[in-house]
Amino acid sequence: MLLTDSKLQFLNDKARDIRRSIIEMLTEAKSGHTAGALGMADIFTALYFGILNHNPKKPDWAERDRLVLSNGHICPVLYSAMAHSGYFPLEELKTLRRYGSRLQGHSHREWLPGVETSSGPLGEGLGQAVGMALADKMDRGRVSQRFFYCLMSDGELQEGSTWEAVMLAGKVCPHNLIAIVDRNNIQIDGVTEDIMPLEPLAQKFRAFNWHVIEIDGHNFEDIFSAVGQAKSVFNRPSVIIAHTTPGKGVPAIEGRYEWHGKAPTEKEGKQAIKDLNKND
């Protein structure tokens, strides 16, 4: 996709709208995960408004791309992107985490059309995505035009099950599998490199036969270029390591691991909206 000035402005505006909705829904819910959701807003904006082959009016369309959210605790950004792209009314975002709501604290595939997998335990999403991509390859017996995107946190790369999936993908080589790692360097107890170091992360994926791309996860040109490059690789799966700032757009939250699993108070939410509005 050619990113003209007008398209870039549209994407930046849409990402800001998605971040506003994240703050509003978490403030209303009084619980949830803020930092990661804000940090991934640009990635989800790029996916839902330029990269994914999808149809909000036909969420079960057979030829759609699949998006697997492995780090399900950042589902506010998934819900926000889906609502802003037309899967369901924006007003429903305010029902986050309510009893009986379709928008639970971790996404549930049987309740909300457009959600491909249920999430909860970290480290499971990549295995699910590898299975989907492999099944697609086996069913079609040809190069598929569908792509399978797995969104992952860096913290869940400390899970052994993730590396089993990495090894399998490197062996069976589904070309249409693209993992996107949110490399924000935090987890609930602190900094990833203090708790269980992940580096050298890119070299680890390369060792298991993955094509690796590292980007600024807040730069739309980087994001679109990386996905385009990943789509052009036909002999192995690809991983995009997206370096992001947790809490992006809200100075009081940016870079602070304490906001991994914390929702804004009403006062904090109002200030966060003001901060996001400053760039209008």
Strands (E), 127-232: 148-153, 177-183, 186-187, 190-191, 211-216
Supply the pLDDT for residue 245.
Answer: 98
Which 3-state string (H, E, C) describes 115-155?
CCCCCCCCCCHHHHHHHHHHHHHHHHCCCCCCCEEEEEECH
Q: Is 216 helix (H, G, I), strand (E, B) or coil?
A: strand
CATH number of 5-277: 3.40.50.970
* pTM summary value: 0.96
pLDDT tens per residue, range 139-173: 876 666 899 999 999 999 999 999 999 999 999 98
Which parts of the chain register pLDDT below 50? none
* Amino acid at position 53, single letter: N
Supply the pLDDT for residue 1.
Answer: 67
Instruction: Please state the domain extents for the chain.
Output: 5-277
Supply the pLDDT for residue 259.
Answer: 97
62 exposure class (CB count in 10 Å sphere: 0-12, 13-18, 19+): exposed
Supply the pLDDT for residue 120.
Answer: 84
Supply the pLDDT for residue 152.
Answer: 98
pLDDT tens per residue, range 244-268: 999 999 999 999 999 999 999 999 9
**Tokens coding 138:** 């086996």
The chain-wide mean pLDDT, for the chain, equals 96
Supply the pLDDT for residue 143.
Answer: 62
